[in-house]
């Protein structure tokens, strides 16, 4: 049988002609297997370009006195295919001719089996995405296929592999063959990573600062783990799904991440994890493939894609951009994220999660001071509205109120700096900024940790003066605890009960925008209010926040071009979208939460508990958190778009959940007439290609540009 071009043996072809070591980079490949020519048989015939002179030449291997199975099994060493021209020049010439005819006819690389030049079989050959991209681009350059056909030849989901680290395939195969497999999770942020296991974010960051390649392993991550995530080469969690904290943060950072690996027993106290008979202790090697979700014991070499592969991908994506109608935005929370999004071809920021700007121990601590004193500050503000309007700490205020406004002022400075960096990076492109939407439990001290510290201090006989502050903090945290935080005090509800927080954020957005405009940089911020269920929530917030925006613009004598819109993630907002659109200038469907609320699934729990079985048993056709459910969730989106545009025909509509990088979901958004999709930066190429294929569906491939 034919020896696959993806097999390690094929590397000899590329090495001989100095073709970069990445699987499947040869172009216009035609592989053939043939039967006896006298006592000879051959395998692996292919067309490629000779870098020395640019000529298309036939290369491959030739085996004397053997069958195809001898080559596949690897028990015989074939000779260079040039030997066939010396032994059987007529057969070599005929075979070359047939190869060219078949490639021209099928407009694709082929596997061919034949005997004495009777062609027995031809089929589209298997290839890696690197080979698929290069083949498609060079076939267009040769005039063999059109650009439309080239765009349709590549699988969108595979495009991300071109931009992320990958395992050396031979080393990975040896590791798996050597029983290195440990467990399987969900690939949340693509790429491969290997390093030393660390189970604490601070220890991971310290090790990384010493030059150690770190894999951060946690049961689940929290906002205060961000310094460990930033330092890590990869992240692995035993809980959570593809929309969990670890998944969302690492996708934005471009850090490989495997989540929901429930077969992995993580013991933070003993600093170890175990699965499938392997135990990995802190400082020992572990490897993760965040594309497939595999976890492997030991170190496996990784490598970055070659620049020439990325160049050809950019050519193909440039053609895709000519055909797609959907805009492709990126989810980005930092200036670095925004720059990466631009490099991947994003046309704007579809979701800037402001809560992610508060990550890291130093910022989380400030957010905690703000939140635990917010109730006291709000009560005081109702009694002292004039002083409260300044949103600043004053000597006349009670201590808790001073603490609240001091933390608020500190965060405002950080937010202005962050927004300035993101808006500067995006320039004239739109940037949709979502106001704070995190459930409070993600930022507050853990209730259990506070109880444990109090019990420990009491057992040690600590004086009441030392224990009392912990008791007061516990009382505040207990008052803010929720049975179901994802459906609780978050989003617009937080903005309505603690208006100073949203007012601070809008002040920071408009201030950053005005500063850039004064520098001559045109910016287009769009302010998104999350979790609206009733139009009155949006009305009340918009009145308050518009007043803040106007005050800043007047004080800075600068007009900012901005919009107000909402994140549609509650089913009721879809059903009453005609009311909501009378106030909102744009809709961004938050498909993660909309799916969760429509199905009644807890997205973090479902994927780790029963959703896999649902997919295996075909109870559900696909994971609704990865691909939009077209009938249920999609039906609500359809209603929301139709109702919204019935009262505001120019309503800007997009999606900003993780579905924005899923090809099937992108095709759904194209069919439903949305304006854009937004996804993590590394999935932008997938969305660009998928949007083009959706636009080309059913069209003829006659464009030969």
Which positions are annotated as active-site residues? 245, 656
The secondary structure of the chain in percent helix, strand, coil, rounded to multiples of 5, reads 50, 20, 30
3-state secondary structure of 677: strand
Are 287 and 258 spatial neighbours (Cβ–Cβ below 8 Å)?
Answer: no
3-state secondary structure of 215: strand
Are 490 and 531 spatial neighbours (Cβ–Cβ below 8 Å)?
Answer: yes
Long-range own/partner contacts, residues 88-93 (CB < 8 A, 24 or more apart): 88/37, 88/38, 88/40, 91/37, 91/117, 92/58
* Beta carbons within 10 angstroms of residue 578's beta carbon: 17
CA gap 533, 579 in Å, rounded: 11
CA gap 601, 603 in Å, rounded: 6
CA gap 302, 611 in Å, rounded: 31
Q: What is the bridge-based pairing of β-strands 214-218 and 31-37?
A: unpaired
Measuring CA to CA, which residue among 433, 392, 386 is closest to residue 410? Answer: 392
The CA–CA distances, whole Å, from 343 to 249, 426, 433 equal 19, 11, 20
Can you tell me which residue has the tokens 């063999």?
A: 144
CA gap 266, 296 in Å, rounded: 15
Are 299 and 642 spatial neighbours (Cβ–Cβ below 8 Å)?
Answer: no
Q: What is the bridge-based pairing of β-strands 181-184 and 186-189?
A: unpaired
Can you tell me which residue has the tokens 């049988």?
A: 1
Q: Directed axis angle between helix 374-383 and helix 499-518, to 10°?
A: 90
């Amino acid at each position: 049988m034919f020896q696959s071009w993806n097999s390690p043996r094929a590397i000899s072809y590329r090495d001989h002609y100095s073709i970069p070591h990445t699987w499947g980079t040869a172009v216009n490949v035609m592989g053939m297997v043939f039967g006896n020519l006298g006592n000879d048989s051959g395998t692996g015939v292919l067309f490629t370009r000779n870098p020395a002179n640019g000529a298309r030449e036939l290369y491959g291997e030739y085996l004397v006195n053997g069958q195809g199975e001898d080559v596949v099994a690897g028990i015989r060493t074939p000779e260079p295919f040039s030997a066939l021209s010396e032994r059987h020049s007529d057969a070599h010439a005929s075979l070359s001719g047939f190869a060219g005819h078949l490639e021209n006819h099928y407009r694709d690389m082929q596997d061919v089996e034949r005997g004495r030049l009777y062609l027995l079989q031809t089929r589209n050959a298997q290839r890696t995405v690197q080979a698929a991209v290069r083949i498609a681009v060079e076939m267009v350059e040769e005039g063999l296929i059109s650009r439309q056909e080239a765009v349709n030849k590549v699988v969108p989901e595979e495009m991300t592999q071109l931009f992320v680290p990958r395992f050396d395939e031979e080393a990975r195969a040896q590791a798996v063959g050597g029983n290195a497999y440990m467990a399987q999770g969900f690939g949340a942020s693509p790429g491969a990573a290997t390093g030393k296991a660390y189970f604490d974010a601070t220890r991971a960051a310290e090790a990384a600062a010493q030059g150690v390649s770190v894999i951060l392993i946690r049961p689940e991550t929290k906002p205060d783990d961000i310094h460990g995530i930033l330092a890590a080469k990869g992240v692995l969690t035993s809980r959570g799904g593809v929309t969990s904290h670890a998944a969302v943060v690492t996708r934005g950072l471009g850090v490989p991440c495997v989540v929901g690996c429930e077969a992995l027993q993580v013991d933070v106290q003993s600093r170890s994890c175990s699965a499938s008979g392997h135990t990995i202790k802190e400082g020992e090697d572990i490897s993760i493939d965040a594309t497939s979700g595999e976890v492997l014991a030991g170190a496996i070499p990784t490598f970055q894609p070659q620049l020439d592969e990325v160049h050809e991908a950019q050519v193909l994506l440039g053609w895709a951009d000519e055909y797609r109608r959907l805009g492709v935005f990126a989810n980005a929370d930092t200036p670095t994220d925004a720059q990466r999004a631009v490099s991947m071809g994003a046309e704007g920021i579809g979701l800037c999660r402001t809560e992610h700007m508060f990550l890291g121990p130093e910022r989380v601590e400030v957010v905690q001071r703000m939140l635990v004193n917010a109730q006291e500050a709000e009560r005081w503000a109702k009694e002292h509205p004039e002083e409260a309007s300044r949103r600043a700490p004053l000597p006349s205020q009670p201590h808790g109120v001073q603490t609240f406004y001091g933390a608020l002022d500190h965060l405002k400075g950080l937010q202005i700096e962050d927004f300035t960096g993101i808006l500067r990076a995006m320039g004239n492109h739109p940037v949709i900024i979502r106001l704070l939407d995190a459930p409070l439990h993600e930022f507050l001290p853990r209730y259990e940790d506070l109880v444990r510290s109090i019990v420990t201090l009491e057992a040690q006989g600590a004086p009441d003066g030392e224990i009392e502050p912990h008791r007061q903090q516990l009382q505040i945290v207990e008052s803010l605890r929720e049975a179901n935080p994802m459906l609780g005090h978050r989003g617009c509800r937080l903005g309505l009960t603690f208006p100073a927080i949203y007012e601070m954020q809008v002040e920071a957005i408009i201030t950053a925008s005005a500063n850039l405009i004064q520098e001559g940089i045109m910016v287009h911020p769009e302010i998104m209010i999350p979790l609206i269920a009733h139009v009155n929530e949006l009305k009340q917030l918009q009145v308050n926040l518009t007043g803040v925006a106007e005050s800043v613009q007047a004080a800075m004598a600068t007009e900012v071009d901005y919009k107000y819109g909402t994140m549609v993630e509650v089913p009721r907002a879809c059903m009453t979208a005609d009311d909501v659109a009378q106030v909102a200038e744009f809709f961004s469907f938050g498909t993660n939460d909309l799916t969760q609320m429509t199905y009644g699934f807890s997205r973090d729990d479902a994927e780790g508990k029963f959703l896999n079985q649902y997919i295996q048993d075909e109870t559900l056709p696909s994971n609704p958190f990865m691909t939009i459910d077209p009938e249920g969730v999609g039906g609500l989106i359809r209603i929301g778009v139709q109702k919204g545009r019935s009262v505001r025909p120019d309503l800007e509509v997009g999606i900003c959940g993780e579905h924005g990088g899923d090809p099937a979901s992108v095709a759904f958004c194209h069919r439903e007439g949305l304006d854009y999709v937004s996804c993590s930066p590394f999935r932008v190429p997938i969305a660009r290609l998928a949007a083009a294929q959706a636009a080309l569906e059913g069209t003829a491939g006659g464009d030969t540009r």
